[in-house]
Amino acid sequence: MKKLLSFCIISITLLDVQAQQKVNPTIKIGYSSPKVAKDAGSTQGLTDQTKKVRKVTEVFPSTLGAKEKVGFTEYDLQTNGSMQRRILTNGNNVSVTWTFSSEAAPTATSTYADRGTGYAHFNGTTWSAAPNARLESLRTGFSSLTLDGAGNEIAICHDGNNALQMNKKTGGTWTTTPMTTNATNQGIWPHTAASGNWLYILTSPLDSNIHSNGIRNGYFFSRSNDNGATWLDNMIPLPMVDSVGHYRGGGNSYAVSAQGNKVAILVGDIGTDLTLLSSVDNGATWTKKIIWDWPLNNFDFAAAAMTDVNADNIPDTLESNDGSQSMVMDANGDIHIAFPVVRIYKTGANTGYNYFYTTALAYYNSIFDSLKVVDNIFNIYHDCDGDNQFGIGNLYGGSDVTSPGAVYNSIGTITMPSISIVSGTPQKVLIAYTAIMDNDTTVDDPSHITWYGASQFEGQNYRDIFVAVSPDNGTNWNPYPVNVSKTAHFEEAFVSTPEIISGADLNMVYQGDIEPGTIMQNNDTYDDVLKNLIIVQKIAISQLLTLSLDSTSPCGQSELPLGTKDIVNNEIGIIGLYPNPANNYVNVSMQFLSPVEQVDIQLLNIAGNKLWSQTLNGVKESTTLIDTKSLAAGFYIVKIITDKGTTVRRLIKE
């Protein structure tokens, strides 16, 4: 197989590792096989990266800045690609939204009838209580948060009938109003931007087979000059984006930003161009620029086509954006873009395409009109355990219960960036994103207080939240991304940051939970002990500037999510299973921090059915034997319930 690095506009050191088979290019979930990928080199293409010596057992801070748990959700898919803006800051005030549900024992096929917009607000002193219901009276999802021309917070989402709804907060009260956008071209997954009374909305169509400008599942655009009361353009096909560079669109594979009378739109997905439209007259007319050129025009991944750019009938490995790009327009009208770059190829069969364990994070700035590499997962500083290789779990990909993965719709090991501008002279640029951690995978590790053995599969990679820092408006980037979440055996993803930051701190919102990936995409088992948390984190920008010069900053995980034990349902002691895997029996070893009046021990199958139970009274230390001879081989759950909390451990029966 010939490998083609065809886009030399940026220089990325990429590693030829085993490709991962994609089986459905629409939802983009792939299969994988065991792989530990070697580090790409060391310091090639980077400057002043003398790596500090780190011990694996070295103690690192459990948190940077301040973290708050502001809510939860059982619906764990916050985007299909690009993250919407879901956080607003005004002085010390902070508001955030997310897709909320309190569905009991959710699965990939749950209806989530109570799904809607979750909301939390910080008034400068305290956070509002975590919501137990959505803002709306009807089922909605995927809100985009911004301010209207009167300074009111608005969260625009789509409802269960695939029309758009506007939540507006006036005087502390939320009202939900159906929007008057075109019902014929029903739009879902809205991304919004506002400037004064101008409101801009970009959506995907309800029906993925709908074509706009020759693009299947294309893009629809609306603009209003009266905060959405009426529309100048009402769900029209996005101008100037056609089937030459885009065979198809994608859910959430777009971004929009506005300042004054200027507005910009960015669209693109895997195997398409990354296309920028910009306007200086509030969207009346547009200019077009290709930020990243996919060389095969109108390329259909579902067809029997080959990634062959020179017609020699040999598949070429091509670089592509991953559909999770982010964009911000600064106060001067200059455009800043962040997007992951992945490598893929297709052999010609009509069963999908292949992708590699490689991702670089690229940055574009309209001032110098070129691209820079901000991060690469195989740079030496991502080797956190000091073994000179980057460890990727054996189930990074995967799309079914027999070969389960924890990859998101955007397939990259670095993905879902959210880019922000820090006002000042010079401006600073911050890019927050999620990236997998070196050898931090789902394993049976009861020593971690956050590990309940909820995953029935080993080898799924956990992710942390990173921030890349430019001190001078994107001209230069500090050499090390900062791991800001720093939690081992804990998944953080779906990060969203403000467009413009005028204060001294970066505030961000993201989702964290015990299980890599999502129930919705990966059909993972739900952990009913530790829910999907919505976390807001505040970090001083001055601290990010300092840490991004320190080679230890990409690593340094801690075992305490949020730095508080109550987040993990009050750690009650040390609970162990041995032998595990088990054959004829398993011992449940319990050593509690203080005596407990009653302990209920339950053995459950993966479906949650109780197979065996026993109750003990007045326990400080105890070992209980469970007979497992009659159990079929497979995965089981041992649950220990006390008045001080609940602990769950995973059991394998051989």
User: DSSP string covering 310-356, please?
Assistant: SSSSSPEEEEEE-S--EEEE-TTS-EEEEEEEEEEE-BS-TT--EEE
The per-residue pLDDT for 455 is 55
Query: First-to-last CA distance in the chain?
Result: 40
Query: Quick one: CA dihedral 153, 80, 298, 215, positive or negative?
Result: negative
Residues 552 and 615 in one domain: no
Tokens in use for 371? 């691209």
Residues 514 and 641 in one domain: no
What's the number of domains the chain is made of?
2
Q: Among candidates 148, 136, 151, which has minimal Cα distance to 93?
A: 151
Contact call for residues 166 and 117 (beta carbons, < 8 A) = no
The per-residue pLDDT for 490 is 83
| Residue 11 included in any domain | no
Contact call for residues 654 and 457 (beta carbons, < 8 A) = no
Residues 206 and 307 in one domain: yes
Give residue 352's pLDDT band: very low, low, confident or very high (50, 70, 90). Answer: confident
Residues 99-136: tens digit of each pLDDT: 999 998 888 889 999 999 999 999 999 999 999 999 99
Give residue 35's pLDDT band: very low, low, confident or very high (50, 70, 90). Answer: very low
pLDDT at 508 over 50: yes
Residues 561 and 577 in one domain: no
Residues 311 and 343 in one domain: yes
Decide which of 161 and 528 is more confident.
161
Residues 591-628: tens digit of each pLDDT: 787 888 999 999 988 777 899 999 999 998 888 999 99
Residues 420-471: tens digit of each pLDDT: 999 999 999 999 999 999 888 876 554 454 454 445 566 788 899 999 999 9
Residues 489 and 584 in one domain: no
Contact call for residues 587 and 593 (beta carbons, < 8 A) = no
CA dist., res. 75 & res. 331, Å (int): 36
CA dist., res. 83 & res. 416, Å (int): 6
pTM comes to 0.81
Give residue 30's pLDDT band: very low, low, confident or very high (50, 70, 90). Answer: very low
The per-residue pLDDT for 303 is 86
Q: Name residue 461's beta-bridge partners.
A: 441
The per-residue pLDDT for 31 is 30
CA atoms within 13 A on the CB side of 338: 31
Residues 384 and 456 in one domain: yes
Pairing, β 414-422 against β 500-501: parallel
Residues 628 and 485 in one domain: no
The per-residue pLDDT for 180 is 92
Contact call for residues 406 and 492 (beta carbons, < 8 A) = no
CATH no. for residue 180?
Answer: 2.120.10.10
Give residue 207's pLDDT band: very low, low, confident or very high (50, 70, 90). Answer: confident
pLDDT at 267 over 60: yes
Give residue 525's pLDDT band: very low, low, confident or very high (50, 70, 90). Answer: low
Residues 540 and 643 in one domain: no
Residues 496 and 619 in one domain: no
Residues 389 and 240 in one domain: yes
Among the residue ranges 44-48, 82-86, 268-272, the one predicted with the least confidence is 44-48
Residues 325 and 465 in one domain: yes
| Structural domain boundaries, residue 618 | 573-653
For the chain, the average pLDDT equals: 83
pLDDT at 648 over 50: yes
Among the residue ranges 201-205, 289-293, 397-401, 446-450, the one predicted with the least confidence is 446-450
| Residue 170 included in any domain | yes
The per-residue pLDDT for 456 is 55
Q: What are phi and psi of 248, to 5 degrees?
A: -140, 160
